[in-house]
Amino acid sequence: NAGVTQTPKFRILKIGQSMTLQCTQDMNHNYMYWYRQDPGMGLKLIYYSVGAGITDKGEVPNGYNVSRSTTEDFPLRLELAAPSQTSVYFCASSYWDKGSGANVLTFGAGSRLTVL
């Protein structure tokens, strides 16, 4: 299994441009998430999805959109990029960890986005 795959790893955008961060997982997980991590900070939830066709806002959804047409894919769309969206973006999905008895988030490698 590849796990959670994010593309691109790095991207520089100009103010006002649009782009989509791709996320795909091959573990058949129903639950997927997008987080952002600002420098020196923890992760904040942008959007999440509990299954294909179902998405909901997290803590910091403004300026972003998501869709979930399949179980595998959960793309994050930035419509009008702003400098405040400069961050590292993590996609994640949940799995049941038998050892700990917890539903654990497994993360992608991250996408570093800079808006100039």
Partner 1 sequence: AQKITQTQPGMFVQEKEAVTLDCTYDTSDQSYGLFWYKQPSSGEMIFLIYQGSYDEQNATEGRYSLNFQKARKSANLVISASQLGDSAMYFCAMRESSFAGFQKLVFGTGTRLLVSP
Tell me which residues touch partner 1 (CB under 8 A).
30-31, 33, 40-45, 48, 50, 58, 88, 90, 92, 94, 96-97, 99-110, 112
**CB of 51 vs partner 1, minimal distance in Å:** 10
HEC readout, the chain: CCCEEEECCEEEECCCCCEEEEEEECCCCCCEEEEEECCCCCEEEEEEEEECCEEEECCCCCCEEECCCCCCECCEEECCCCHHHCEEEEEEEEEEECCCCEEEEEECCCEEEEEC
Closer by beta carbon to partner 1, 82 or else 102? 102
**CB of 72 vs partner 1, minimal distance in Å:** 17
Closer by beta carbon to partner 1, 9 or else 82? 9
**CB of 11 vs partner 1, minimal distance in Å:** 15
Please state, in angstroms and rounded to a whole number, the distance separating the CA atoms of residues 60 and 6: 20
Closer by beta carbon to partner 1, 16 or else 51? 51
Closer by beta carbon to partner 1, 13 or else 32? 32
